[in-house]
C-alpha cells in the first residue's frame, strides 16, 4: 500500500517526460521553414539554353529571325530572405551565344546580364534533405558584345549592345545543411540595342551605320551549387 503513491509519482514523472519530449519534438516540427524568413543563399552554376527566336529590326524595319541557336555560360546569384516565402534575388549571367546567322558569319557573341527580382519559395521537404521550390522574376540591364569582321566587300563592326533582360525562373534547391544543388529552368527574354557599322574594304570612305534591335527569347537550363548561410 505504501508503494502506491511512490509508484504513482514515478509513473507520473515518466509520463511527463514522454509528453515533454514529444512536445519538444512537435515544437521543432512546428517551426517550419515555411513560416520563417529564408536564410541568405549564394548560388553559382552553369547554364545551357536554346534560343527560340532572335528577331532583328534594323532602323525600325523588321529583318526577320536569325534562326535557332545556343547559349552556354555561367551564372551566380544571391538571394536574401525578406518575408516567409519571399526573398529578393540578385543574379548575374555571362554567356556566349551562337545563332545560325552568327555561325555563318563567324561572329563571336558574348552577353552579360545583371538582374534583380522577387523570389517566391516553398519548402516542400525538410528531412532528410531540405527541398525548396522557388519561382522568381528577375529583370535588369544587359550588355552584349558582337565581334564583327570582314564580310565580303564590307568590314562590319558593332557597338557594345545595351538593353534589358527579364526571365521567369523555376528552380529546385536540394540542401544538406549549408550545401546543396540547385536546378533551374528559365524562360529568358533579352532586348538589345546596338549600332552596326559597315565600311567598304576597297574604299574606306564609303561607310554607313544602322541601329539594330534584337528581341531574343530562349529557354535556359541551369544547374549549380548552393550555399545557405
Partner 1 sequence: MWRIVPENRLGERVRPLTSQSRWAAFRSPVAWVALVVLVANDHFLKRAGLLPGSVTGKLSDLAGLVVAPVLACALIGARSPASRILGFAAVVLPFVAIKTVPVATHLVEALTRLVGLDWRLWTDPTDLVGLLALPFAWRLQADSAEVRAGKRATRVLERLGAMSAAVACVATSGPDPSSLHTAIGVVNLTREHIDLQVFRAKAPLACASVHAPPLVAGDFAPDRCHELVPYAIAPLDLDFWTKTYDQVEPPPGVEHRSCDAVLLRAEGLEDTVLFWNNVAQESFDDSDPVPLDHPNIAYLNRIGDRLFIGGPAVAESSAATFELPPSPCKVAP
3-state SS of the chain is CCHHHHHHHHHHHHHHHHHHHHHHHHHHHHCCHHHCECCCEEEEEEEEEEEEEEEEEECCEEEEECCCEEEEEEEEEEEEEEEECEEEEEEEEEEEEEEHHHHHHCCEEEEEEEEEEEEEEEEEECCCCEEEEEEECCEEEEEEEEECEEECCEEEEECCEEEEEEEEEEEEEEEECCEEEEEEEEEEEEEEEEEEEEEECCCCCCEEEEEEEEEEEEEEEEEEEEEEC
The answer to the question of residue 118 lying near partner 1 (CB under 8 A) is no
The answer to the question of residue 153 lying near partner 1 (CB under 8 A) is yes
Tell the smallest beta-carbon distance from residue 185 to partner 1 (Å): 15
The answer to the question of residue 202 lying near partner 1 (CB under 8 A) is yes
Tell the smallest beta-carbon distance from residue 154 to partner 1 (Å): 4
Tell the smallest beta-carbon distance from residue 60 to partner 1 (Å): 14
The answer to the question of residue 200 lying near partner 1 (CB under 8 A) is yes
Tell the smallest beta-carbon distance from residue 63 to partner 1 (Å): 5
The answer to the question of residue 198 lying near partner 1 (CB under 8 A) is yes
Question: Where along the sequence are the contacts to partner 1 (CB under 8 A)?
Answer: 50, 56, 58, 63-64, 68, 101, 103-106, 151-154, 198-202, 206-210
Amino acid at each position: 500500500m505504501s508503494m502506491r503513491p511512490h509508484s504513482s509519482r514515478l509513473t507520473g514523472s515518466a509520463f511527463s517526460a514522454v509528453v515533454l519530449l514529444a512536445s519538444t519534438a512537435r515544437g521543432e516540427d512546428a517551426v517550419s521553414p515555411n513560416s520563417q524568413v529564408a536564410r541568405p543563399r549564394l548560388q553559382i552554376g552553369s547554364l545551357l539554353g536554346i534560343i527560340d527566336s532572335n528577331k532583328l529590326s534594323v532602323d525600325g524595319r523588321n529583318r526577320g529571325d536569325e534562326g535557332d541557336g545556343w547559349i552556354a555560360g555561367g551564372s551566380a546569384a544571391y538571394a536574401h530572405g525578406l518575408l516567409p516565402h519571399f526573398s529578393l534575388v540578385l543574379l548575374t549571367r555571362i554567356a556566349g551565344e551562337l545563332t545560325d546567322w552568327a555561325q555563318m558569319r563567324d561572329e563571336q557573341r558574348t552577353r552579360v546580364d545583371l538582374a534583380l527580382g522577387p523570389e517566391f519559395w516553398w519548402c516542400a521537404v525538410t528531412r532528410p534533405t531540405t527541398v525548396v521550390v522557388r519561382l522568381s522574376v528577375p529583370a535588369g540591364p544587359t550588355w552584349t558584345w558582337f565581334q564583327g569582321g570582314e564580310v565580303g566587300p564590307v568590314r562590319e563592326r558593332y557597338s557594345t549592345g545595351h538593353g534589358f533582360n527579364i526571365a521567369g525562373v523555376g528552380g529546385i534547391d536540394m540542401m544538406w545543411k549549408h550545401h546543396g544543388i540547385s536546378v533551374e529552368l528559365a524562360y529568358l527574354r533579352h532586348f538589345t540595342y546596338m549600332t552596326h557599322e559597315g565600311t567598304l574594304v576597297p574604299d574606306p570612305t564609303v561607310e554607313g551605320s544602322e541601329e539594330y534591335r534584337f528581341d531574343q527569347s530562349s529557354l535556359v537550363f541551369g544547374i549549380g551549387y548552393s550555399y545557405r548561410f
